[in-house]
Amino acid sequence: MTEYSTSPTGEKFRLPTPEDYSKEFERLKRLVDDRRARGLEIVVVMGLGFVGAVMAAVVADAQDKDGNPTKFVIGMQRPSTRSFWKTPFLNRGISPVISEDPEVPFMINRCVNEKKTLMATYTYDALKLADAVIVDVQCDYLKESLGNVRDGRADMEALEKSIEIIAQNINAQTLVLIETTVAPGTTEQVAYPIMKKVFKKRGIEGEALLAHSFERVMPGKNYVASVRDFWRVCSGVNEEATRRVVKFLNEVINTEKYPLTVLDRPIESETAKIVENSFRATILAFMDEWSLFAERNGVDLTKVINAIKVRPTHSNIMFPGPGIGGYCLPKDGGLGVWAYRHIHGFEDDIFKITPLAININDTRSLHVAQLTRDALRNMGRPIASAEILLLGASYREDVGDTRYSGSELIVRRLTEMGAELRVHDPYVLHWWEFEKQDEYPGNSHGLKRFFRGQEKLKDLRVEQDLKNALEGTDAIILAVRHKHYLNLDPDEVVGNAGGPIAVIDCFGILDDERIKRYFELGCEVKGLGRGHVKRIKDQVREKREQILIDISVKEEKRDLSLSSEDLELLSNGCKLGTED
Ligand SMILES: NC(=O)c1ccc[n+]([C@@H]2O[C@H](COP(=O)([O-])OP(=O)(O)OC[C@H]3O[C@@H](n4cnc5c(N)ncnc54)[C@H](O)[C@@H]3O)[C@@H](O)[C@H]2O)c1
């Protein structure tokens, strides 16, 4: 049966058949012979995902002091129905990943079509031609329950398989650089033994040249710079591997401005990545309890954080938003905790803070559903069958990456509670976690399985027109600090909605003026970490009561003239409940 892979744009590509492989290898050999003759080194990048596609282009764009290209890069993507389309896309010069950084498509097009230093293939035979291989395949952490990262495991399958295939194909002098974020110990205790065994079978004497250097990719406007113009840490399994990885990174990364840190052993480089991300996950998780404290004690956490931030030693204190998403922070600490037992064989439990931080972050957004329920209740509207508009699907501001976003959990929980959800996000065209919720993300490990009543979410589509999305809504949830949401005018929002609504601010988006205005318009406002909204509500209520007193005085004096503002506040104020 002929199999196809369909691109996100809907284009269908036939998967290669056995006959295609030999022809493809002949094509590769011709190209490689030509580039080698011009003095270029051959680099294979395995895995053309978010990281691999851009790293491949950065390497292909490298040049010597005279401006001549130094590397010919073959991006290697396995021909699965899910991912094969990336190969023909890249060969046309089209980026297989969508990025807000205009340099991504520009650089890929330049390297493929002008410099001719970048191409993609589906055949592992490409590895036979490589001087260096970069491994950028995924290494997931699969969680078995919501809010308990210990109940899970590292999914090493793609990585182990890749390493085995690499060892079967490369020559002994090929540098293998693992960039995948791995459980600490993986390079030396998982990958190296695999390579050693395969090399032995192939009769190759000598040690594999294996190294680790992690990516610090940041989605967003500076995507390319976060790969190329940023500090790197690296280490090899032996002296020669370390020498080679240092030489390679010096040739492709801007190490003059961002010097390399060379560590003694790969486990140190691997641990650096995990600690770096666990640190960030922890400082965010730590704010969750203070966020609740703030909500219950009339404190505006955003102002507290800004007050602390002026102290240079505390400048990286952060407001956590509705959960901590993205591909890395929710899983990386889990890889470390898992490695301690399953790679290093320890039985005791030394980890307290790292798993706790992930568990807090993984469930923080559920509180948003409670705030929405309470705000609607205060307006006399039940959550069941309420129309709710979520503003922002991605995991951080001004990017289109929805992986493990807190917004997903908000939608799932509110749906479970009977609400009808709509979504707006200017950066997200398809929210695959819902549209393809039975197959994405893979390994049947989507968040759907932790909630009931999720079937209808397959039909959830991301609205691009905010005005349309607002029409007839009972509540809006400001979930992400996209620039489009920072200055929304309350009068317009309420006007487009067709009347007073509940407004839930998850990310310190509303200033006090806007909060006040929403209350004046008869809306209910709640926010993560924003306990002071109650004070503003009381002020609006007091003002309304004062107007009522004024009316009765005027009535006594038989003078019933009222300003239009007072009239408006009075009529909207009737809707202002007394509950908190
Ligand atoms: N995305 C980020 O922001 C980010 C940041 C820093 C580090 N990282 C790390 O980088 C690594 C890669 O992440 P990503 O976001 O690019 O993942 P991804 O899932 O987007 O990409 C992985 C790619 O590898 C391919 N692949 C898997 N097995 C293969 C094989 N045997 N041969 C060829 N291709 C294969 C997959 O099909 C996919 O295209 C992860 O370890 C991640 O933790 C990611």
Residue 51 identity (one-letter amino acid) = V
Neighbours of 513 (CB within 10 A): 10
Instruction: State the pLDDT at residue 549.
Output: 85
Across the strands, what pairs with 114? none
Q: Which residues pair with 262 in a beta bridge?
A: 234
Which residue in 405, 368, 404, 411 sits closest to 482, CA to CA? 405
* Residues ≥6 apart with Cβ < 8 Å to 341: 347
Residue nearest ligand 1's atom 18 by CA: 49
139 CA → ligand 1 middle, Å:
7
Report the C-alpha gap between 47 and 138 in whole angstroms. 8
The DSSP letter of residue 371 is H
Cα–chain center distance at 221: 14
Tell which atom from ligand 1 comes closest to the C-alpha of 165: 31
Q: How far apart are CA 550 and CA 172, in angstroms?
A: 90
* Residue 76 in contact with ligand 1 by CB distance below 6 A: yes
The closest-lying atom of ligand 1 relative to the alpha carbon of residue 47 is 24
Residue having the nearest C-alpha atom to atom 3 of ligand 1: 217
Q: Is 180 in the pocket of ligand 1 (CB under 6 A)?
A: yes
Q: CA–CA separation, 411 vs 418, rounded Å?
A: 11
How would you label 85-102 residue by residue, b for 16+ Cβ within 10 Å and e otherwise?
bbbbbbeebebbbbbebe
The reported pLDDT for the residue numbered 98 is 86
Going by C-alpha positions, the residue among 377, 367, 374, 369 that lies closest to residue 292 is 367
Identify each DSSP E strand in 122-166 by its residue range. 132-135, 140-143, 152-155
Beta bridge partners of 76: 46, 121
Q: Is the CB of 49 under 6 A from ligand 1?
A: yes
In this structure, what token pair is assigned to residue 411? 């939608």
**DSSP letter for each residue of 240-274:** HHHHHHHHHHHHHS-TTTS--EE-SSHHHHHHHHH
- Any idea which residue has 């594999």 for tokens? 208
Length of the chain: 580
d(Cα 330, Cα 214) in Å, to the nearest integer?
17
Please name the residue whose Cα sits nearest to atom 20 of ligand 1.
49
pLDDT value, residue 31: 97
181 lines ligand 1 (CB under 6 A): yes
Q: How far is Cα 322 from Cα 508, in angstroms, rounded to an integer? A: 11
Query: What tokens were used for 192?
Result: 């190296």
Mutate to test the pocket of ligand 1, among 138, 157, 215, 324 (most ligand atoms within 8 A of CB): 138
Structure tokens at 52: 């691999």
- Is any ligand 1 atom within 6 A of the Cβ of residue 217? yes
In a mutational test of the pocket of ligand 1, which residue from 86, 137, 328, 331 has the highest number of ligand atoms less than 8 Å from its CB?
137
What's the pLDDT at 552?
79
Ligand 1 atom closest to residue 217's alpha carbon, by position in its atom list: 5
CA of 84 to the centre of ligand 1 (A): 14
Contact 497, 422 (CB under 8 A): no
CA-CA distance, 287 to 318, in Å (whole number)? 8
The whole-number mean pLDDT for each consecutive block of 10 residues of the chain, a chain of 580 residues, reads 89 95 96 97 96 97 95 95 94 93 96 98 98 96 96 96 98 97 98 98 95 93 96 98 98 97 98 98 97 98 98 96 93 98 97 98 98 97 96 94 96 98 96 91 84 96 97 98 97 98 98 98 98 97 88 75 75 62
Closest ligand 1 atom to 48 CA: 39
Q: Which residues contact 6 (CB under 8 A, 6 or more apart)?
A: 12, 13, 81, 85
d(CA 66, CA 488): 51
- Residues forming beta bridges with residue 236, ordered by sequence position: 211
Task: Name the one residue in this structure whose structure tokens are 């010069």.
Answer: 93
Sheet of 118-121, strands arranged across? 118-121, 71-76, 41-46, 132-135, 175-178, 209-212, 233-236, 261-262
Tell me how far apart the alpha carbons of residues 544 and 533 are, in angstroms, rounded to a whole number: 17
Q: 359 in ligand 1 pocket by Cβ < 6 Å?
A: no
